[in-house]
Copies of this chain bind each other. A is one copy, B any other.
Amino acid sequence: MKILDSEFQAWMGGVQARMEAVLGRVLPAASVAPGRLHEAMRYATLEGGKRVRPLLAFAAGEVSGAAPERLEIAAAAVELIHAYSLVHDDLPCMDDDTLRRGKPTVHVEYDEATALLVGDALQSLAFQLIAESPVAENPKVQLEMVKTLALAAGSRGMAGGQQIDLESTGKALSLPELELMHIHKTGALIRAAVLLGFSCGKHSEAEKPLDRYAKCIGLAFQVVDDVLDYDGSTATLGKTAGKDSKQGKPTYVSVLGLARAKEMAEALRGEAHAALAPLGARARRLSELADFIVLRKF
């Protein structure tokens, strides 16, 4: 199983460590005013998560031969959007969660108003990063990247997915409806991570396979999340387990049952691999990540 391949593990650890350093650098220090806001922004972003989106960006960058100095910025921008969405998602008016990545959520550790501003400011910082650093071959591509990220984050992407999620609580969704929700809620930003990483390098005709790959992996990620949420314990997840089903939210497990949800994840993994086939060896890391995302246990 590739997930245990020590060379892949070392690559992954390397990207994760690099991201920790980059995020630490691009986030204003807690000594910069307003200190409490900057401290809370760092709390929300650092030392947490598997950095799946940055890993995808770095892996997609291998397809276009992108320099790591560019990839780390594009990856940081995507991760900041992700981090902001978690902070807002955990707020009492949304999921009202108290635990995230094994730590109290931002509004619990600080307060609600600060958590609101943390999310707001993390979003601004993401766009600032892509605009101010030479992350692509030319400024035109960079503007495309800003647009891709904005669309992925906005009302027809992630924020829209959250809204569909809100409205679906307590309802029985069909599989296509559930899919539509997750294509927005998680899929859009995962797709952006892949496309932004790819855009850091030389232009080539790979958008179509990457797009198909990203769609499969985005859905697979959510299906596996639902399986783990159903199967796992709070301790291994680092967040409150079984929360979605308790809140009456439809999940792949509630719609398909556990066995069929696992089959679906497996099928999506296969489809992701198939999408990468035309890209050859350049897509090795993306291929490994498909395995990692579906076969992970926590």
Contact residues of A with B, CB < 8 Å?
Answer: 28, 32-34, 36-38, 41, 84, 88, 91, 93-94, 111-114, 116-117, 119-121, 123-125, 127-128, 130-132, 138-140, 142-144, 146-147, 149-151, 153-157, 159-160, 162-164, 166-167
**How many subunits of this chain does the assembly comprise?**
2
Looking at the assembled complex, report how far the CB atom of A151 sits from the nearest CB atom of chain B, in whole angstroms.
Answer: 6
Judging by beta carbons under 8 Å apart, are A163 and B114 in contact? yes
Residues from chain B with a CB closer than 8 A to the CB of A154 are 121, 124-125, 128
Residues A123 and B123 in contact, CB atoms below 8 Å apart:
yes
Q: Is the CB of A33 within 8 A of B120?
A: no
Cβ-defined contact, A163 with B117, below 8 A = yes
Say yes or no: B121 contacts A93, CB within 8 Å: no
Contact pick for A167, options B34, B131, B132, B155, CB 8 Å: B34
Contact between chains at B160 and A33 (CB < 8 Å): yes
**Highest count of chain B CB atoms <10 Å: which of A32, A139, A142, A154:** A154
Q: State how many angstroms separate the Cβ of A97 from the closest Cβ of chain B.
A: 13
- With A and B bound together, what is the CA distance between A123 and B144 in angstroms? 17
Q: How far is the CB of A26 from chain B (nearest CB, A)?
A: 12
Whether the pair B155, A127 counts as a contact (CB closer than 8 A) is no
Distance in angstroms from A41 CB to nearest chain B CB is 6
Q: Identify the interface centre among A139, A155, A162: most chain B CB within 10 Å of its CB.
A: A155
In the complex, are the beta carbons of A121 and B28 less than 8 A apart? Answer: no
A27 to chain B, nearest CB (A): 9
- On whether the beta carbons of B131 and A147 are closer than 8 Å, the reply is yes
**From residue A127, how far is it (CB to closest CB) to chain B in Å?**
4
Would you give the shortest CB distance from A131 to chain B, in whole angstroms? 4
Which of B36, B120, B139 is in CB contact (< 8 Å) with A140? Answer: B139
A28 nearest CB neighbor, chain B only: B155
Q: How far is the CA of A130 from the CA of B149 in the complex (A)?
A: 13
B116 touches A93 (CB 8 A): yes
- Of B34, B116, B155, the residue contacting A160 (CB under 8 A) is B34
> B32 to A159, Cβ gap below 8 A?
no
Distance in Å: Cβ of A223 to nearest Cβ of chain B: 22
On whether the beta carbons of A156 and B32 are closer than 8 Å, the reply is yes
A148 CB to nearest chain B CB (Å):
9
Given contacts A41-B155, A127-B150, 5 further A-B contacts (CB under 8 A): A34-B155, A34-B164, A91-B116, A117-B155, A124-B150
B residues in contact with A120, CB < 8 Å:
84, 88, 119-120, 123, 153, 159
Q: Which one of A111, A138, A139 has the greatest number of beta carbons of chain B within 10 Å? A: A139
